Structure 1
Amino acid sequence: MKVPAVLRRIVALGASVGRMPDYVLSPRFILWRLQELAKVFGERGKRYRSSKNWSLTLSNGRTVRLPLDDPSAVAFKEMADKFAPYYEKALADYLIATLMPGDIFVDGGANVGYVSAVAATTGAVVFAVEIQRELISQIEAVATLNEFDLIRPLHIGLSAGPGLTSMWRTAINFGAGLEGETDRALDDEPRSVADDFVATMALDDLFVGDSMRPKVVKVDVEGHEIDVLAGAKRLIAERRTIFVVEFHAHMIGLYGHAPEDLLAPFGRGQWSWHQLTDDGLVPIGSMDEVKPDPRDPNPKIVFTPLP
């Protein structure tokens, strides 16, 4: 981590002085925090900087480096290579054009952290939410390789509310998703050694108050998108956050929903509906108008609040 970048983040201490005890502002405490910060980034550097990696250049001229020393990272590159010039180009270009320094971006379904890294090139604060714990280290590696100190990995599942839910205990799987009840804690014991459990949270409970309101939320959770939106009723009602929702036509029915349910939270007259394509935002009036895009693995629907 470059020292100037670290020092810029330390300035944030001054923004919350009123909420801090006096000792937090003492020279001795600040020195200790700096020393601990240096240790954290030094340890991450030893862990990740020596890794094999590959890179790509985005439309804003920034280069993003991605690791290649883990099977999940290799699998991601193999998938990304199928979509030249770079993976999910329309989404990447949209985030680059929309996000500004200091904005909050929520990457719901962050996977290895590629989209999080794209967003971080804008100077936005990024919360990378991922249910597969093995992928959290990959997100940290991306943050370290690119010196993106404002990427925050969160090992939770976004859903309609807090609780525990199950998922298969399996190797890294880009199609892994939550199972079972997701709006309450499970009453049953773990069914078998093949099951993992993940804590769930609602977006409304995670991002509270003006200072934590996301500018953009991306939701890509393998068919579970509608339950995630059900946990964002307040954010949607406030109409100050853009939602980019991936449409998994082949999986949405597994959770008991229909494609039109994606549109229901975003009332016409209050929100615009668009499909995100390499040619820009294409207006839609129903899910029947969403077209497959050979340059994108799954269509993205952008919901933008109207004035």
Structure 2
Amino acid sequence: MGNFTSRAEARRVAVEDPGDVSALAGGSWPPYNRAEMMKIPVALRRIAALGVSAGTMPEQILSPRFLLWRLRELVKLFNERAARHKSETSWSLTLPNNKTVRFPLDDPSAVVFKQMAGEFSPYYEKGLADYLIAHLEPGDVFVDVGANVGYVSAIAASTGAVVFAVEIQRELISQIEAMATMNEFDLVRPLHMGMSSGSGLSSMWRTGINFGAGLEGETVRALQDEPRSIADDFVPMMALDDVFVGEAMRPKIVKIDVEGHEIDVLAGARRLIEERKTTFIVEYHAHLIPLFDRSADDLTASFGTDGWIWSQLMDDGLVRISGMDDVQPDERDPNPKLVFEPV
């Protein structure tokens, strides 16, 4: 809006020159949360008090009338989502940051997940939850590759981070949206897609549980070039490097849990890895990686020891490792979580 490179710059100019309508409008839009959204009418009244009408404002400035219309439509959207995703049954969890998050229970997948999570105390994937809460701040970008019903996405969202919840199972997208609506996590952005080494369409099983292992790996093309098959579905695939481009979109943390497909996801993040500004949390599925003709060495080859700290994430924190031989068995987590932090 205007000639400002960021909303922060517009706000600074608005403080220095309260009569700058361009800065006043640019510092108010877009809102980052509901509290900011409710303050926009105040900014519009200030603009009106300056005697600036929609017809006299510069073309590059959003008019007060247009901003007010956008605001009304935004409120309407939130209300419609609340009505659409209203759930009679749910379960809740209090996190170590004292935030309570709710999850819907109106889908069989959500019920199964809740039963599994209930076997852990004080909560499922405690080490991961503690790590995200300690390292994410409001405005950080978190990418949840393999979001499932949105459990980890909810934990990340509780910190105020922007969450991209990537999930290949179409049926689970509505569960993620419902979770976000119930908790007013307006910065959770569900994406029905998969991540891989490149972009294209991959086929996946329609029957049973659609593991990431059901996807084509390196070539990112249909397992069978047969779109007429009713036994298979198709899902768009993208590389992390192709999606998260630019400083503002660079993830602070990427979590990868894709049932054996993790090495191909990392292959699509070469630029992010080379930039060494993103932490990767990888759930390692030793029994599924061979399905993609991969090995543990392929996983560690994605990260050199120069410039990276390797650790295993346990319930009580990080344990430094120098290679896959150092990974400790964990009866509470058969698929170890490996953390690669840039120095």
Q: Residues 139 and 22 of structure 1: is their aligned pair in 2 closer, same or farther, counting only changes over 3 Å? A: farther
- 1:183 is matched with which residue? 219
- 1:300 is matched with which residue? 337
- 1:62 is matched with which residue? 99
Q: Residues 11 and 303 of structure 1: is their aligned pair in 2 closer, same or farther, counting only changes over 3 Å? A: farther
Instruction: Report SS of the residue matched to 1:213.
Output: coil
- How far, CA to CA, are the matches of 1:115 and 1:106 in structure 2? 10
Instruction: Report SS of the residue matched to 2:106.
Output: coil
1:281 to 306, 312, 318: 318
- 1:17 is matched with which residue? none
- 2:129 is matched with which residue? 92
Higher relative contact order (CA 8 A, sep 6+): 1
1:83 to 109, 120, 142: 120
Contact 2:212 2:261 in 1 (8 A): no
C-alpha deviation, 1:263, in angstroms: 0.8
C-alpha deviation, 1:297, in angstroms: 4.5
- 2:302 is matched with which residue? 265
Structure 1: which amino acid aligns with 2:219?
A: D
1:284-306, Cα deviation, whole Å (9 max, x unpaired) = 12212212212224210000011
Structure 1: which amino acid aligns with 2:265?
A: V
Give the RMSD, CA atoms, in angstroms: 2.3
2:202 to 165, 179, 185: 165
Gaps of 5+ in 2: 1-30, 44-57
2:154 to 91, 109, 117: 117
Question: Which has more radius of gyration?
Answer: 2
- How far, CA to CA, are the matches of 2:162 and 2:279 in structure 1? 15
1:43 aligns with 2:80: yes
Structure 1: which amino acid aligns with 2:280?
A: F
C-alpha deviation, 1:43, in angstroms: 1.4
- 1:152 is matched with which residue? 189
TM-score (norm 1): 0.90
Structure 2: which amino acid aligns with 1:6?
A: R
1:257-284, Cα deviation, whole Å (9 max, x unpaired) = 0012111111112101000001211011
- 2:234 is matched with which residue? 197
Percent of aligned pairs with the same amino acid: 65
Structure 1: which amino acid aligns with 2:300?
A: L
1:80-128, Cα deviation, whole Å (9 max, x unpaired) = 1122221111101100001011100000000000100000011100000
Q: Residues 24 and 140 of structure 1: is their aligned pair in 2 closer, same or farther, counting only changes over 3 Å? A: farther
- 1:8 is matched with which residue? 36
Instruction: Report SS of the residue matched to 2:281.
Output: strand
TM-score (norm 2): 0.81
Contact 2:217 2:264 in 1 (8 A): no
- How far, CA to CA, are the matches of 1:130 and 1:9 in structure 2? 29
1:226-270, Cα deviation, whole Å (9 max, x unpaired) = 000000000000000000000111101111100121111111121
Contact 1:24 1:30 in 2 (8 A): no
Gaps of 5+ in 1: 15-20
Instruction: Report SS of the residue matched to 2:185.
Output: coil
Question: Larger deviation: 21-30 or 223-232?
Answer: 21-30
